[in-house]
Amino acid sequence: MADITKLTIAQTLDCLKNKEFTSTELTQAYIKSMEDNRDLNAYVLETPETALQQAKISDEKYANGTNRTLEGIPLGIKDLFCTKDIRTTACSHMLDSFIPQYESTVTSKLFNDGAVCLGKLNMDEFAMGGSNENSYFGPVINPWHKERKLVAGGSSGGSAAAVSANICAAATGTDTGGSIRQPAAFCGVTGIKPTYGRCSRYGIMAFASSLDQAGPIAKDVRDCAILLNSMAGYDTKDSTSVNIPVPDFEKALGSSVKGLKIGIPAEYRPQGLNDEIASYWDKGIEILKQAGAEIVNISLPHTKYALAAYYIIAPAEASSNLSRYDGLRYGLRVNGNSIDDMYTNSRSAGFGKEVKRRIMVGTYVLSAGYYDAYYIKAQKVRRLIKNDFNNAFEKCDVILTPTSPVTAFPIGDKSMQENPINMWLNDIFTVSVNLAGLPGMSLPVGLSKDGLPLGLQLIGKSFDEETIFKTAYVLEQEAKFERLK
Amino acid sequence: MAIDTQTVIKIASLSRLKIDEDKVEATKDEFNKIINWVEQLSEVDTDGVEPMFAVNDTQLACREDMVVEGNQADKILKNAPIAEYDYFVVPKVVE
């Protein structure tokens, strides 16, 4: 059984139930895969002892017939989720010795359903970035053509790379402006950012609280549905989680898209859009048309302002959230002559370049005299973006777009290193979804001429992940994307 | 509007971040680039538009004002860089 790490969660659960291999054997195979793939830098902490203890319990549960829904499934956990007694750093020097005393709601739900924790996954520091190059632990290498040293995307770069390279069965991610969907697209895997409020944010280190959502990154659409079933749900510990029933997302798979209205936004096809990306988008449209869906042209007129609004709102919230890192209660402390010196020394030593940049931009746009001109203005534009989606969803049920205007680019790309705005422009197709709080999924549909994965994005109505799952499943069946072997 | 070096130094200080003297100029340039870029929002007509701070119209839930998890000073202090007698330790603030 050399290839058990290549199975999907659905396949693995069947094998475990049929006793084709044990949970311990499965976990050992993944531990071996972690060791063999250390060159990718996907994990910042491996927890093989914890994993094997959990696997042993899973084997007992299978033996006595009390197995839970994710019994024995080995997961990688993005290092933004607090895991009790397991070091959690947000990939920041600020927190490189932080040991949470409690468990995030999402990870506790997964582990209570029987999942096994393989370790903590690399990411951009505090989830700020789109290439994983902002990690204190160094960039993740994209498993596709790893000799070319391409980025895995970000911020959940470790999650997407680990799933793609079969170093975990699936992973948790978080998405503030595209941090699940863009790395999933770059690495040829599937990821969904659910509706804001669907998953609890409790125990996830906050970046921009009105935008952050947790979600799964997995090998296929079905696995995303299985995981989201476990991760979603109301939580009294997160006042923004929404108290509505969670449907069984897996049940949405396989139902027909006949008569479903697929919105195609004109603004997502700007002049100069990469030809290959445009042609895979057309292919996706064709697949859905063939399956009986109706294609509807829609307009999201404020799309071009989404990035500017996002890069005011997200840094504003970040500057506020990250003020908690004061060298006092947790995290790095560098002493000084006064308490203010201590704050400044600790924060200056603890945060990386991009985090400092965003804290300062956020501080500026919230400061006296500029608050109305920038922050309030951006929140007004945000409403216009949300209104655009409301209007579009009068005419369609789900929206299909590319996930990213580019494929994975080389680590250390000069234009992006020299001008941060060039990096931020890559988020053009994903940030609106966060600003409007909608669910969005990326799934791989093909390879570019130079062999790199391309993803399409499905955007759904608020709390209608089911239509996304249903549509994605049809696309997946027809696109027949081949995962890395 | 252009941001000058004084403003950059003030923003860094409000952010409790240090900028090395030789980096102030470069930081100012980068800051201006970013702020000029977000200025494009001024093109958008937002007259009469209510700002949107939250995406869902849910009311914050209320609960009884009672202790749900308590007596865990040790856990709360566990990650403190310096703790003594169940307190966080700060540099001396009173002469």
Supply the pLDDT for residue B80: 97
Assess whether A179 carries a catalytic annotation.
yes
- Residue A96: is its pLDDT beyond 70? yes
Q: What is the pLDDT of residue A271?
A: 86
Determine which helix (DSSP H) or strand (DSSP E) holds B8, and give its type and residue range.
Answer: helix B5-14
Best residue in B4, B28, B34 for a mutation probing chain A (most A CBs within 10 Å): B34
Judge whether residue A1 has pLDDT over 80.
no
Residues of A in contact with B55 (CB under 8 A): 196-197, 210, 386, 435-437, 462
Could you tell me which chain B residue has the CA closest to the CA of A96?
B79
pLDDT at A320: 98
User: pLDDT per residue over A8-35, tens digit each?
Assistant: 999 999 999 999 999 999 999 999 999 9
Residue A231 C-beta-side C-alpha neighbours within 13 Å: 33
The confidence score (pLDDT) of residue A220 equals 98
On average, the pLDDT of chain A sits at 97
pLDDT interval class at A2 (50, 70, 90): low
Strand partners, A216: A172
Comparing CB atoms, the residue among A323, A333, A384 nearest residue B81 is A333
The count of other CB atoms within 10 Å of the CB of residue A2 is: 7
Q: Are A218 and A227 in contact (CB under 8 A)?
A: yes
pLDDT at residue A418, as a whole number: 87
Query: Are the Cβ atoms of A309 and B41 closer than 8 angstroms?
Result: yes
* Residue A264 · residue A233 · CB < 8 Å: no
* Cross-chain Cβ contact A378/B41 below 8 Å: yes
Q: What is the pLDDT of residue B95?
A: 74
Q: What is the band of B36 on the pLDDT scale with cuts at 50, 70, 90? A: very high
Does residue B61 belong to the interface with chain A, where contact is any CB pair within 8 Å?
Answer: yes
Three-point CA angle B12, B15, B19, nearest 5°: 30
Neighbour tally for A209: CB within 10 Å: 16
CB contact under 8 A, A381 and B91: no
**pLDDT for the residue A319:** 98
B20: closest CA of chain A, how far (Å): 10
The pLDDT mean for chain B works out to 93
Active site residue A33: no
Report CA-CA distances (Å) from A21 to A16, A29, A74, A162: 6, 11, 14, 22
CB-CB neighbors (< 8 A) of A327 in chain B: 81
Q: Is A155 known to be catalytic?
A: yes
Maximal CA-CA distance, chain A: 70
| ipTM of the predicted assembly exceeds 0.85 | yes
In B, minimum Cα distance to A318 occurs at B15
- The answer, yes or no, to whether residue B2 has pLDDT greater than 90, is no
pLDDT at A107: 98
pLDDT at A349 over 70: yes
B37: helix, strand or coil: helix
**Is residue A59 within 8 Å of A114, Cβ to Cβ?**
no
Distance CA A100, CA B82 (A): 17
Residues from chain A contacting residue B18 (CB–CB below 8 Å): 344-345, 348
Strands A43-46 and A116-121: antiparallel
3-state helix, strand, coil in chain B (%, to 5): 40, 5, 55
Q: Which of A223-232, A247-256, A419-428 has the lowest mean pLDDT?
A: A419-428
Would you say residue B1 has pLDDT above 70?
no
Contacts of B35 in chain A (CB under 8 A): 361, 364
The answer, for B56 touching chain A at a CB cutoff of 8 Å, is yes
**Given the residues A23, A33, A58, A78, the one annotated as active site:** A78
Residues A133-180: tens digit of each pLDDT:
999 999 999 999 999 999 999 999 999 999 999 999 999 999 999 999
Instruction: Give the list of residues 6+ apart from residue A160 with CB closer than 8 angstroms, or none.
Output: A152, A153, A171, A173, A183, A184, A186, A187, A189, A191, A217
Domains and CATH numbers, chain A: 4-253 (3.90.1300.10)
Q: What is the pLDDT of residues A268-318, one digit of tens each?
A: 998 889 999 999 999 999 999 999 999 999 999 999 999 999 999 999 999
Q: Helix A221-231 and helix A465-479: axis angle, to 10°?
A: 160
DSSP character at residue B45: -
Bridge partners, residue A294, by sequence: A261
- The DSSP symbol for B48 reads T
Whether A111 has a pLDDT exceeding 70, the answer reads: yes
Is A242 close to B34, i.e. CB distance below 8 A?
no
Angle between helices A23-36 and A48-64 (to 10 degrees): 160
- Six token digits for residue A68: 């839970």
Q: What residues contact residue A73 under an 8 Å CB cut-off, 6+ apart?
A: A9, A12, A13, A114, A115, A116, A169, A170
A91 Cβ contact partners less than 8 Å away, ≥ 6 residues apart: A44, A79, A122, A123, A124, A125, A126, A134, A135, A136, A137
Nearest to A311 by CA among A369, A367, A407, A381: A381
Mutation target vs B (from A357, A380, A415; most B CBs, 10 A cutoff): A380
pLDDT reading at A95 higher than 90 = yes
Rounded to two decimals, what is the model's pTM? Answer: 0.97
